[in-house]
Structure 1
Amino acid sequence: MELTESTVEGLLQKVSSLKREIQKVIVGQDIVLEEILVALLAGGHCLLEGVPGLAKTLMVRTLAQALHLPFRRIQFTPDLMPTDIIGTEILEDDASTGKRVFTFTRGPIFANILLADEINRTPPKTQSALLEAMQEFEVTYAGKTYQLDRPFFILATQNPIEQAGTYPLPEAQLDRFLLYVKIGYPTEQEELQILANTTGTRKTTVNAIVNGAEIRQLQSLVREVTINDDLTAYAGKLIRATRPDTTDISYVKEWVRWGAGPRAGQALILTAKARALLHSRYAVTMDDIQTMAYPVLRHRVLMNFKAEADNISSDKVTEELIKVIGRPKTL
């Protein structure tokens, strides 16, 4: 169904209201919040990384409260099993036949918003239980396939400093996350506001602003945002430049072990469109592409041992590539 202009304007106003509602609880972190909303509008999943105490879980819970959607949280631990995520079959009595039959009991993954808290604390076998759901939006168990309700949005958190008892996410799973968002410390003023807001008797109510049907409409609208051919070519050139086997850029060959694949290009263009819509624009700009390049490439450009020894991150590679790859002449 084609959306009318008034419907589109109403949806964009709701997105603005959604952001303000979350900001009732979350002080600062504007860039992080924008990137999470971009992932939601683009129909992808988000990996949040930050040290303990930076309100990662609170941010996800607040987003869930502001969305009129079922929300579930899974605390990932070393003993978590795949069936704890997707569900299992149990033996029950069938009242109509009197026989005992196996019935599938759905796990917490059957929700619209799923918080995978401390995802890197569980072994790869259990982490892989999310792969099919993240890509195909379905779950297969005992030969049967169960569709997940849409929208389906996974927000996973991990701690970058505590390595004991953690398991690095496999590259295949990392690539399933549309964005890799890093959360930093608040500014001095923001921290003072946090202290004032959270150590008294003040209670904040978060209202549900957007429902599932409206999220799906927004996700469809994102794909209608226009991007000109020159910007598409620029995005493709940026992605290809991350590959050490085919690029002529010396520091990519020196630092990068593995570059980004075509899925990164798709993610870059789609998130640039979502960011444009988030800013009430219906066309992608160069700023959208360059801003979203960091969270898109952060987990898709794998650094080699030399880069790690020299403390060179994938963000540094992205920064240098943006400097080197010039703007198209028509822009």
Structure 2
Amino acid sequence: MSDPTFLNDVPLEKAAAQIRAAGARENRLAVEAFFDEPTNTASYVIHDPATRQAAIVDSVLDFDAASGRTSTASADAIIAYVKAHGLTVDWLLESHAHADHLSAAPYIQRELGGKLAIGREIITVQNVFGKIFNFGTEFARDGSEFDRLFEDGDTFSVGSIPAMVLHVPGHTPADMAYVIGDVVFTGDTLFMPDFGTARADFPGGDARQLFHSIRRLLALPDETRLFLCHDYKAPGRDTYAWETTVGAERAENIHVRDGVDEAAFVEMRTTRDATLAMPKLILPSVQVNMRAGNLPEPEENGRRYLKLPLDTL
């Protein structure tokens, strides 16, 4: 697995140049957010206004843990928006294997098309959690459930708008940030400045890696727009928010603003994480999301089942 302290800075330099060039263009990336309050998740439909080509970032499949029922209201809202605006979906982007919601990417893909992508380190997550869930040899653990496995510095495009992928592990081994035009979709690395940063205590997580990944993102130009995957309304704030800038994070983030060094961050993050309960949906979410959002195959009675490993996490 890549160590951010030794990552080649060339992808970061190229991303910064892309951001500056895209910020000067008239044809900038259009971003529409869809916030799912039950899971505090922000999903995005993004598109190139010139070509109407689009991507969907971190979609949500509705899931009621008490009844075990899934539904598609959140995904259907995204599908309706795409159709209403005449967009063509080229990409379904996952920032990582989420532990707080189930991905709706396969459902949306069946309706709208597009390639489903995630970071190559999803293979590490599949191996770790494949053992936790005691999945047998039928679970390949090679990332083949996804159409594209991105590596640090890989490039693609949304219409005519250039995009680059940055590997930002720490929250999980597989976290990726997507730099698209002058915008960055950070996944779970960062929250709004008044709420701080992601936890790093999941299997494969590492607070020291998270610090370096975040500082890597915060080396991008101050004007870079950051779109976050979650918001939990920090104390004293009454509304949800999911857009900020590199400059705001560097100046104001309560966990990792300029002047906070690695040792202080690691101590804070480790101490804080030890007080946090596991996300309510981590067990159903991870076993579905590491399969690219695909639900388990029905058993002989026609029903699907999720596993709950006891006394493990």
**TM-score (norm. length: structure 2):** 0.30
Compare relative contact order (CA 8 Å, sep 6+) and give the higher one, 1 or 2: 1
* Higher Rg: 1
TM-score (normalised: structure 1): 0.29
